[in-house]
């Protein structure tokens, strides 16, 4: 019988990583479904559930798991209840779970408790915040693992996972960046009303453990960017605690210099990155995708702490004005050699070849610690 794969997605970021895998799996003959929840369902963040539902010939299941301002533990508990009810009625053959968000943790808990085969995408990463702890929890809860680097694989093994359950495929979103986007930069600028010829990209998310200072951090960063005299496309932050303080700063920025966009289609975002002068902020895109594209990136603060070490990345405190100013002066418009630390853009091919091998489906759902 045709195997049913269910991808759990709560944000535009994780969908960008899951979509290439879903496309490849569908082409290989697997039935594809998406459990859509989290930020996807929220109008303030672009109601990106509509983007997910553009995926052809798939099933879609939507669940509203939060309201603006809900606490993370409340979102977690609500998502556990909703996802548990869902899989009771629609039991998939494999649940694909990405990363370190509370929606991912909820799905991992339910799959472990209900003995449903699950796969964790991009386990073994480090960042230094609560996200890292959630990611490692997902590693212990999920039955199998698709990691993005040998370093990540070593960390997953250090957590006691059996080597035969851990597959190194690379970072899936690089597959999309490695191929043509299908749109021109002129089409991107027209669709999102971007008037700038020369621009940098900024994505600055809240750090949950630093929620009380996010307003001050955002103010310090955007004061530097504004003083540079350059133009920036700003993608809205995620909805973690502290986001309201960041939005308060963003809403005061001069519109002739900063274009604020709630969210973008992934292929449009990819094309935007390919033509940007720099990338600034604390998004994983700055330490994973930007180096792959040779785009210089400024990683500010602690959110991506020690996650990558490409030569195109400059890391500093958000309050380090001298380093920020120096980066914008010295690296604006520069290009680096592509960094392949997280793969070369072939993760989806490796992913499907593993699923097509019968041994993958023979993994026991009862795990034991491997020394």
The answer to whether residue 127 scores a pLDDT higher than 90 is no
Q: For the CA atoms of 232, 233, 235, 241, what is the dihedral angle to 10 degrees? A: 20
Q: How far, in Å, CA of 297 to CA of 175, rounded? A: 20
pLDDT class of 150 with cuts at 50, 70, 90: very high
Residue 351: the pLDDT is: 98
Residue 285: the pLDDT is: 95
Is the domain covering 183-331 a CATH 3.40.50.150 domain?
no
DSSP labels, 219-241 = HHHHHHHHHTT--EEEEPP-SST
For the chain, what are the domain ranges?
A: 4-170+346-362, 183-331
Section 145-163 average pLDDT:
97
Average pLDDT, the chain: 96
pLDDT class of 129 with cuts at 50, 70, 90: confident
Degrees to nearest 5, angle at CA 232 with 284 and 211? 50
Backbone angles phi, psi at 147, to 5 degrees: -105, 165
The domains spanning 4-170+346-362 and 183-331 adopt the same CATH topology:
yes
Which range has the worst mean pLDDT, 68-72, 116-120, 202-206? 68-72
pTM of the model: 0.93
The answer to whether residue 188 scores a pLDDT higher than 80 is yes
The answer to whether residue 309 scores a pLDDT higher than 90 is no
* pLDDT tens digits, 74-101: 999 999 999 999 999 999 999 999 999 9
Give the C-alpha distances (Å, rounded to integers) separating 334 from 96, 182, 188, 257, 367. 37, 24, 21, 21, 48
Could you say which architecture CATH assigns to the domain 4-170+346-362?
3-Layer(aba) Sandwich (3.40)
């Amino acid at each position: 019988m045709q195997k049913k794969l269910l991808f759990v997605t709560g944000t535009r970021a994780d969908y960008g990583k899951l979509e290439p895998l879903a496309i490849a799996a569908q082409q290989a003959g697997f039935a594809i479904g998406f459990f859509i929840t989290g930020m996807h369902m929220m109008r303030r963040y672009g109601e990106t559930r509509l983007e997910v539902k553009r995926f052809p010939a798939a099933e879609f299941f939507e669940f509203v798991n939060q309201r603006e301002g809900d606490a993370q533990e409340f979102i977690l508990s609500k998502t556990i209840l909703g996802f548990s009810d869902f899989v009771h009625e629609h039991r998939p053959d494999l649940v694909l779970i990405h990363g370190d968000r509370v929606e991912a943790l909820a799905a991992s808990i339910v799959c472990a408790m209900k003995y449903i085969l699950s796969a964790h995408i991009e386990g073994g990463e480090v960042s230094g915040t609560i996200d890292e702890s959630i990611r490692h929890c997902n590693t212990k809860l999920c039955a199998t693992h698709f990691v993005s680097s040998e370093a990540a694989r070593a960390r997953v093994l250090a957590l006691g996972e059996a080597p035969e359950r851990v597959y190194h495929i690379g970072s899936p979103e690089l597959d999309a960046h490695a191929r043509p986007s299908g749109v021109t930069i002129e089409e991107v600028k027209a669709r999102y009303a971007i008037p700038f010829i020369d621009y940098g990209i900024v994505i600055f998310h809240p750090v949950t453990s630093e929620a009380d200072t996010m307003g001050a951090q955002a103010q310090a960063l955007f004061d530097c960017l504004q003083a540079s005299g350059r133009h920036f496309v700003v993608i809205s932050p995620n909805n973690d605690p502290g986001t309201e303080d960041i939005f308060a700063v963003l809403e005061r920025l001069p519109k002739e210099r900063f274009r604020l966009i709630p969210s973008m289609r992934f292929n449009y975002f990819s094309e935007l990155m390919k033509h940007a002068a720099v990338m600034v902020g604390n998004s994983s895109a700055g330490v994973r995708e930007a180096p792959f594209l040779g785009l210089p990136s400024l990683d500010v603060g602690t959110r991506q702490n020690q996650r990558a070490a490409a030569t195109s990345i400059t890391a500093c405190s958000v309050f380090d004005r001298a380093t920020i100013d120096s980066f914008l002066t010295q690296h604006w418009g520069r290009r680096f050699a592509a960094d392949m630390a997280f793969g070369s853009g072939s993760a989806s091919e490796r992913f499907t070849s593993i699923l097509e091998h019968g041994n993958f489906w023979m993994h026991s759902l009862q795990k034991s610690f491997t020394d």
